[in-house]
Amino acid sequence: MIHVSRIVRSADHGYFLQENGMWEKKGLMEAHDRVPMIIRAPATTPSTLRGKRAGGIVELVDMYPTLAELTGLPVPPGSIGNGVSVAGMVANPENNQGPHKYALSIYPRCGNIATGDDNCNNVPDDKLSYMGYAVRDYAYRYVSWRVWNGTTQSVDWTAPPYAQELYDHRQDEPTGVDFDSWDLVNVAGKSSSKALVEEYESILK
């Protein structure tokens, strides 16, 4: 008999079912990127804290190093990208914000971004039109869309963004499960958002 004492449950990125008038999972909005991560490690978590929700930001690349730490296994250097262990959040979910200040995401656009033509299925990297970069912290989601250079397969970070999005998520909780209410008001163009936009641009760069 095998006794499994440490389990991590997560999901692919989110799927729109006409929330915000969108379909499928091709974008960088909150419901595209936000997925659950559920960790069961009873030997690590005190019984009084089991089933509690941790408030910290985690990324899916954290899954491997977290499981390695929880099971006492070594992590081969360079095998996990930018992931870090969040085992400390498992042991102390209520008072541990974890190692991340923000989460990062990236997604391409093909064709005409203004008309919502985002079908990049089976499109080679040198034929993409734009690349979107998103940063999400506890308060905001910022997305910077940049013209993609198919020859160099990169973007020019010295050029201004093609488009920018900034969404205020400070009022999401505790009722933050209504996907249709997320990412509705883009405040990136407001003068009061200038400093925030510049800060998030520097993080992405």
Q: What is the pLDDT of residues 119-159, one digit of tens each?
A: 787 888 898 999 999 999 989 999 999 999 999 999 999 99
Indicate the pairing of strand 130-136 with strand 38-40.
unpaired
Cα separation, 127 vs 96, in Å, equals: 43
Cα separation, 13 vs 79, in Å, equals: 22
Q: What's residue 34's pLDDT?
A: 83
Cα separation, 167 vs 143, in Å, equals: 9
Q: What's residue 164's pLDDT?
A: 97
Model confidence over 160-205: pLDDT tens digits? 999 999 999 887 765 556 666 778 899 999 999 999 999 999 999 9
Count other Cβ atoms within 10 Å, centred on residue 90: 23
Count other Cβ atoms within 10 Å, centred on residue 191: 6
Model confidence over 53-95: pLDDT tens digits? 887 888 888 988 888 888 888 877 766 667 888 888 888 887 7
Residue type, 22: M
Burial 53-85 (b: 16+ CB within 10 A, else e): ebeebbbbebbbbbbbbbeeeebeeeebeebbb
Burial 112-144 (b: 16+ CB within 10 A, else e): ebeeeebebeeeeeeebbbbbbbbbbeebbbbb
> What predicted TM-score, i.e. pTM, was given to this entire model?
0.85
Model confidence over 15-62: pLDDT tens digits? 778 777 777 778 898 888 888 888 888 777 777 777 888 878 888 889
- Sequence ranges of the domains in the chain: 37-91, 101-204
Are the beta carbons of 25 and 16 closer than 8 angstroms? yes
**Residue 183: both structure tokens together:** 């990412």
